[in-house]
């Protein structure tokens, strides 16, 4: 029975129930190893009626790497497309006992005591408008941080804390000529600074502000912040290296949901990078919490252009040809199409900001995000309707020129796909680059009602794979996801795979162990140990109760799959080391006795015998 024909006992269609609930909610509230084998690309295969095949047989490889933010899990997930197989989970802002992230000294140094996070927007580094395969960047909305992931190791190598903000949300890297800057928005307006020196502003919401933070992508340090009246939501950058932009809502400066919904219009903000650089050069900033803060409030500078858009807009996305920015209305059924070629004239005062708008097509109830196929078509996620809508940008612009009667025909809408259910982000293959290829689309849905076996009260999300290579959208796969994947990008395999290393550079870590041994300096004891399956380089180490012990382990196995675990019984220590990798951990030997150190990763026929003793003497 089709979904449309299903209904509950009272006769309501399930989709109608979800729509009603949604409306009610709005009203209320570099060098690497290339695999030697040649593999068939799944999306190069065509099935019946010319459809793309999402089958990836055993031994075949996916065509794309998908990088998923993990939401309040605090992680990044790597998903192969079109198989939708989860390949790896990268711990970022969370503790991960499987790998030892948050346990080892190396990871604890980066996390600095914060072991929870909320990853929302993951984006890759760019060169000339397309991914260069070097880095991923992702925000932590909870603790106001940005992390950088090296794509050769698929691991975090830097985290920067962002002062003066809360709700560090929308993030986007510079696309042209290469990623030198990364921009990060604060969604929650707060006093600036938000400390006892500014206590008078705590109860004065009109003195709360948002900050658009610019981060040096290589140094992972803050260049400056631009203070604005608005809070800011999603972020984007253009394809010319001239502008960053964001949607904003709550221009009312409200602190309750009714206050935040009072105005029919909010703003798309565009930041002029040339004028930001000039302000920095001329010293037109204040130091606040150790950061250069430029005043971008209304009437205080010419750095920010404010384009009025309806209402409480959410996503902002740039078409692959670089011509248009599309803002989604969230509480308006429309998308707003901004012609970026007109933005220069608006900054120069030759036209009004609103003159940059060339179309406002009606898409559906609750449009959130837009992605692209590189053929002039846009795909917008519609939350309340639970649909993906395919529409043509140029036809929407032409309808706008012809007037209201032409717009009512909605001939710019090409197809509407029901999804299951309550879609958030949406992403097509390579769509955030100038090389959008229009093959696959992923719809990241918040509800999975009826799609999977019941696993208890806490249900998975549902990621759905859609074939967009033809005129019609074709749903081909459902995939449950653990809470709460928020956004993703889809990157061609040939961009990433040549950079990914099979093993670590052993001496990249300054403490790499070549010779095992124990060294004591007062009450500080260092245990250096190699590992080769099925033997640790030491069979025994003796320390005294109260010693501060640092254990450093280097894996000397060369086989790329041969990882070892290092777990210390009753000391709450457990981590994994990949071939040629080094990790360390420091702990106080506070319990006398014999404590076995053992390998947790099955590595050899004698894996169970792979262990050594730490004897803690009274």
**What secondary structure letter does DSSP report for 152?**
T
Which residues partner with 370 through β-bridges? 380
What pLDDT sits at residue 478?
Answer: 96
User: For the chain, what are the domain ranges?
Assistant: 506-617
Nearest to 400 by CA among 428, 358, 366, 345: 358
* Percent of the chain with pLDDT strictly greater than 70: 92
Distances (CA, A) of 339 to 306, 466, 545: 14, 29, 69
Nearest to 172 by CA among 136, 145, 211: 136
| φ, ψ at 35 (rounded to 5°) | -60, 135
What pLDDT sits at residue 9?
Answer: 41
What pLDDT sits at residue 323?
Answer: 98
What pLDDT sits at residue 56?
Answer: 95
**What secondary structure letter does DSSP report for 424?**
E
CA 211/CA 225 separation, integer angstroms: 6
3-state secondary structure of 539: coil
Q: What number of other Cβ atoms are within 10 A of residue 264's Cβ? A: 11
What pLDDT sits at residue 51?
Answer: 86
CA 334/CA 413 separation, integer angstroms: 12
What pLDDT sits at residue 48?
Answer: 62
Query: How far is the first Cα of the chain from the last one, in angstroms, to the nearest whole number?
Result: 71
Query: What tokens were used for 467?
Result: 């074939």
DSSP-assigned letters across all residues of 42-103: GGG-B-GGGPBP----TT---SEEEEEE-BTT-EEEEEEETTTEEEEEEESSS-BTTTTBTT
Determine which helix (DSSP H) or strand (DSSP E) holds 409, and give its type and residue range: helix 404-409
CATH number for the segment(s) 506-617: 2.60.40.420
Nearest to 231 by CA among 248, 207, 256: 248
What pLDDT sits at residue 603?
Answer: 93
CA 303/CA 412 separation, integer angstroms: 35
CA 22/CA 16 separation, integer angstroms: 10
**What secondary structure letter does DSSP report for 41?**
-
Reply yes or no: is the peptide bond before residue 558 cis, omega within 30 of 0. no
CA 242/CA 252 separation, integer angstroms: 29
Contact predicate 597/611, CB 8 Å: yes
CA 240/CA 238 separation, integer angstroms: 6
pTM of full prediction above 0.85: yes
Residues of the chain under the 50 pLDDT cut: 1-12, 14, 17, 27-43
**What secondary structure letter does DSSP report for 509?**
S
What pLDDT sits at residue 20?
Answer: 53
CA 454/CA 452 separation, integer angstroms: 6
């Amino acid at each position: 029975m089709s979904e449309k024909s299903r209904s509950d006992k009272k006769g309501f269609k399930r989709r109608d129930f979800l729509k009603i609930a949604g409306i009610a909610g709005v009203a209320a509230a570099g060098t690497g190893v290339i695999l030697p084998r040649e593999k068939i690309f799944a999306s190069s295969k065509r099935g019946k009626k010319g459809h793309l095949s999402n089958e990836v047989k055993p031994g075949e490889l996916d065509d794309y790497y998908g990088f998923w933010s993990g939401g309040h899990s605090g992680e990044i997930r790597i998903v192969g497309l079109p198989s939708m197989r989860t390949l790896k989970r990268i711990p970022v802002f969370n503790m991960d006992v499987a790998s030892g992230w948050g346990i080892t000294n190396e990871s604890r140094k980066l996390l600095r005591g914060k072991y929870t996070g909320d990853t929302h927007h993951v984006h890759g580094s760019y060169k000339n408008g397309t991914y260069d395969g070097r880095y991923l960047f992702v925000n932590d909305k909870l603790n106001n941080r940005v992390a950088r992931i090296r794509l050769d190791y698929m691991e975090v190598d830097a985290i920067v804390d962002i002062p003066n903000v809360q709700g560090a949300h929308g993030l986007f890297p510079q696309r042209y000529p290469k990623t030198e800057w990364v921009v990060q928005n604060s969604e929650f307006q707060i006093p600036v600074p938000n400390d006892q020196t500014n206590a008078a502003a705590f109860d004065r919401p009109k003195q709360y502000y948002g900050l658009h933070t610019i981060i040096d992508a290589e140094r992972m340090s803050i260049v400056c912040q631009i203070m604005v009246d608005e809070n800011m939501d999603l972020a984007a950058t253009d394809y010319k290296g001239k502008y960053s932009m964001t949607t904003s809502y709550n221009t009312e400066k409200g602190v309750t949901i009714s206050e935040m919904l009072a105005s029919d219009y909010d703003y798309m903000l565009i930041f002029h990078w040339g004028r930001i650089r000039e302000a920095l050069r001329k010293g037109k900033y204040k130091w606040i919490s150790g950061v250069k803060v430029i005043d971008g409030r209304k009437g205080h500078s010419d750095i920010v252009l404010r384009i009025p858009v309806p209402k409480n807009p959410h996503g902002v996305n740039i078409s692959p040809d670089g011509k248009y920015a599309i803002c989604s209305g969230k509480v308006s059924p429309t998308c707003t199409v901004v012609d970026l070629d007109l933005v220069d004239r608006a900054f120069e005062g030759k036209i009004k900001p609103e003159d940059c708008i060339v179309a406002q097509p009606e898409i559906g109830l609750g449009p959130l995000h837009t992605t692209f196929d590189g053929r002039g078509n846009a795909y917008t996620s519609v939350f309340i309707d639970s649909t993906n809508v395919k529409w043509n940008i140029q036809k929407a612009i032409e309808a706008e020129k012809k007037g209201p009667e032409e717009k009512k025909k909605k001939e710019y809408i090409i197809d509407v796909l029901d999804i299951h259910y309550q879609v958030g982000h949406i992403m097509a293959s390579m769509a955030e680059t100038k090389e959008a290829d229009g093959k696959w689309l992923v719809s990241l849905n918040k509800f999975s009602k009826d799609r999977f076996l019941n696993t208890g009260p806490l249900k998975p999300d549902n990621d759905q794979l859609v074939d967009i290579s033809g005129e019609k959208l074709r749903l081909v796969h459902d995939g449950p996801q653990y809470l709460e994947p928020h956004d993703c990008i889809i990157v061609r395999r040939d961009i990433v795979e040549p950079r990914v290393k099979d093993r670590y550079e052993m001496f990249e870590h300054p403490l790499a162990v070549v010779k095992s041994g124990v060294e004591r300096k007062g009450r500080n004891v260092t245990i250096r140990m190699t590992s080769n399956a099925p033997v640790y380089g030491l069979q025994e180490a003796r320390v005294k109760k109260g010693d501060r012990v640092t254990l450093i382990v280097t894996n000397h196995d060369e086989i790329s799959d041969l990882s070892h675990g290092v777990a210390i019984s009753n000391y709450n220590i457990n981590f994994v080391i990949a071939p040629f990798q080094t990790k360390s951990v420091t702990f106080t030997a506070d319990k006398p006795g014999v404590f076995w150190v053992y390998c947790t990763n099955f590595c050899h026929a004698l894996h169970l015998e792979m262990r050594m003793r730490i004897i803690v003497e009274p």
